[in-house]
Structure 1
Amino acid sequence: MKPDMKRLTWVLAAALMLGACATSSPAEVARTPSATGAVSEEEFKAMHTLRTDAAPERRGQPVELFDGSKAYLSLPPDAKGPLPAVIVIHEWWGLNEHVQAWADRLAAEGYAALAVDLYHGKVGANPDEALALVKAVDPDQATKTLLAAHAFLKGDPRIQAVRTGSIGWCFGGGWSLRTAMAIPELSAAVIYYGHPVTDPQQLSTIKAQVLGIFGTKDKSIPPETVQAFEKALDEAGVRSRIVEYDADHAFANPSGARYDERSAASAWAETSAFLARTLKR
């Protein structure tokens, strides 16, 4: 009987947290991140091509969040809570097996990694489908899903996260930033070439430390936009580090045609050190 009561208490507490956060989120967080940035839709679609390589074998499991959405949870082997935890936000392709492999990679480094699905089970097989999925995202529902993911990581008895972070790439990079804007309790946010917010007032809700990773050859997020983002973070009082590589958009995606192994490895070293410093302290 006691385990059932504990489970009920957890569910009710998380539901209350979700409802409270959802109603108090700043309105600007609900704005959909730009799909293409400084380039046209056709140019942006040309930046994304998936290879046919198979993803590594998955080690996690599907779970359901409090808003009814599905997610993929990967835990460190034999680990017990409390654990540092990371919300993983997919690229514009959706929650495919390659993103799940990223969650497994984070779990191998000692984090509870929860990969959310902002497309409700749909996955893009080509750039046209992916762009259509991006455009169909309801920003209010996406924010609720991210809040539900955070509540799950805090409340699940296997995790009981004390410190939480977010990470995302491209579409997910923009939403990683907005997760930090919506959840003041977040300790860290990693943004891989996601379209940034450059208004200091909007960024002022962020309490997390921010790591931004960009490519200088990325025409959708040119260096001047990255500089404006860095300046806005500084003006908002957000602790941040911006790292730029001589690389193109989507350079860190090993399943993409623009994958740059050297830059991706360096960026992951930055990410790994940043998460360890902010979430494992």
Structure 2
Amino acid sequence: MRFVRIDGLLRSARVFFAGLTVFAAGCGGAPAPEPGAPTPANTTPATVQTSPSEGMQGTLSEEAFKALHQLSAEKAPPPRGERVAIDGTSGYLSLPRGKTAPLPGILVIHEWWGLNEHIQHWTDRLAEDGYAALAVDLYGGKVAKTPDEAMATMKSVDNKKALATLVAAHDFLEKDPRVQATRTGVIGWCFGGAWSLQFAMHEPDLDAAVIYYGHLVTDPNELKPIKAEILGIFGNKDKAIPPEDVNAFDAALGQAGVTRTVHRYDADHAFANPSQQSRYDEKSAADAWEKVRVFLRRKLAEQK
């Protein structure tokens, strides 16, 4: 365990998650549709460095944020991975068929519902692309069924324990004989996107981090330790992570010297989640998922 690194992450996490009562997470837990849909005309990548701005905080009430999320009753396909023990809790490991170690590894961090069947399905899809995909459980086995349950469970997360779980999961990908990853990445949605960024800030061995509309950090000094390349996916209609916050994040990454690409869509919060019946945007989700696949392939699968 890298306890020094955890201590450093906890210092920034205290500030980062202080606003979780207004910034809850409940986004893309189910896999996006198959790629191939045309790129929406309103997709506007933002990669130019701009001047940094002040930090931000969420402005939505709990009730307003919970209203953004309505989990549909649709079931995900049966899982094909397996449960593994990670730091006293259970993770979900999915391995690519017909491939042996060493494999590129990727951590999958759930949104506010927890490690449910939809996260397992998305993990399986990453495995189908050739990755050893490991979905972590930051809820200690709990899976929420309603926004009220999700809010309460999210607020009960022990940051120290969650950070230790992420470090242990990353170690698993590097050391497990079935994986032996020499290149690693992380992906998360909302709650998971926030943790994806935090882990990238303090894991120097990480190569790639995908952040789907997660709560952001805009202090360049906090972002400077990032060694991974960042891919950000955001919606311009998102009231929880509004465009001005994304602008500040992008600017701060530029000042910190972090390699990054930010894609924006004319879509709402949780737009990439097919199990999110009210705000799912199929075309934007398909385009974003294809960009994620290309990014991960370049950073993890094609590296020698």
**TM-score when scaled to structure 2?**
0.84
2:221 & 2:230 partners in 1: Cα distance?
16
Q: Which residue of 2 aligns with 1:146?
A: 166
* Superposed displacement of residue 19, structure 1: 4.3
* Superposed displacement of residue 205, structure 1: 1.2
* Superposed displacement of residue 38, structure 1: 2.6
Q: Which residue of 2 aligns with 1:110?
A: 130
Per mean C-alpha deviation after superposition, the further-off stretch among 22-31 and 91-100 is 22-31
* Superposed displacement of residue 25, structure 1: 4.2
What does 1:211-226 correspond to in 2, within 5 Å? 211-226=231-246
SS in 2 for 1:115: strand
* Superposed displacement of residue 22, structure 1: 3.2
What does 1:204-215 correspond to in 2, within 5 Å? 204-215=224-235
SS in 2 for 1:270: helix
Q: Which residue of 2 aligns with 1:48?
A: 69
Over residues 109-140 of structure 1, what are the superposed CA-to-partner deviations in whole Å (9 max), with x where a residue is unaligned?
00000000000000111111101111111111
Q: Which residue of 1 aligns with 2:83?
A: 62
Q: Which residue of 2 aligns with 1:163?
A: 183
SS in 2 for 1:91: coil
Over residues 24-58 of structure 1, what are the superposed CA-to-partner deviations in whole Å (9 max), with x where a residue is unaligned?
64621454534322311111000000000011111
CA RMSD of aligned residues (A): 1.3
Q: Which residue of 2 aligns with 1:5?
A: none
1:68 & 1:179 partners in 2: Cα distance?
19
Q: Which residue of 1 aligns with 2:6?
A: 22
Over residues 41-88 of structure 1, what are the superposed CA-to-partner deviations in whole Å (9 max), with x where a residue is unaligned?
1110000000000111111000001x2121000000021011111000
Q: Which residue of 1 aligns with 2:290?
A: 269
Higher share of residues assigned helix: 1
CA contact (8 A) 1:38 1:222 kept: no
1:268 & 1:188 partners in 2: Cα distance?
15
1:50 & 1:26 partners in 2: Cα distance?
31
- One-letter amino acid of the structure 2 residue matched with residue 81 of structure 1: A
Unaligned runs of 5+ in 2: 24-57
1:252 & 1:139 partners in 2: Cα distance?
26
CA contact (8 A) 2:209 2:229 kept: yes
1:165 & 1:101 partners in 2: Cα distance?
18
SS in 2 for 1:165: strand
CA contact (8 A) 2:111 2:192 kept: yes
Closer/same/farther in 2, CA of residues 263 and 60 from structure 1, 3 Å limit: same
1:231 aligns with 2:215: no
SS in 2 for 1:247: coil
1:243 aligns with 2:259: no
Q: Which residue of 2 aligns with 1:38?
A: 59
Count of paired positions: 264
Q: Which residue of 1 aligns with 2:50?
A: none
1:83 aligns with 2:103: yes
CA contact (8 A) 1:90 1:168 kept: yes
Q: Which residue of 2 aligns with 1:124?
A: 144
What does 1:187-202 correspond to in 2, within 5 Å? 187-202=207-222
SS in 1 for 2:296: helix
Over residues 194-247 of structure 1, what are the superposed CA-to-partner deviations in whole Å (9 max), with x where a residue is unaligned?
011111111111100000000001001110000000001111111000000011
* Superposed displacement of residue 102, structure 1: 0.6
CA contact (8 A) 2:10 2:159 kept: no
**TM-score when scaled to structure 1?**
0.91
Unaligned runs of 5+ in 1: 1-16
2:10 & 2:74 partners in 1: Cα distance?
40
2:225 & 2:129 partners in 1: Cα distance?
29
Which among 196, 199, 208 is matched to residue 176 of structure 1?
Answer: 196
1:25 & 1:94 partners in 2: Cα distance?
22
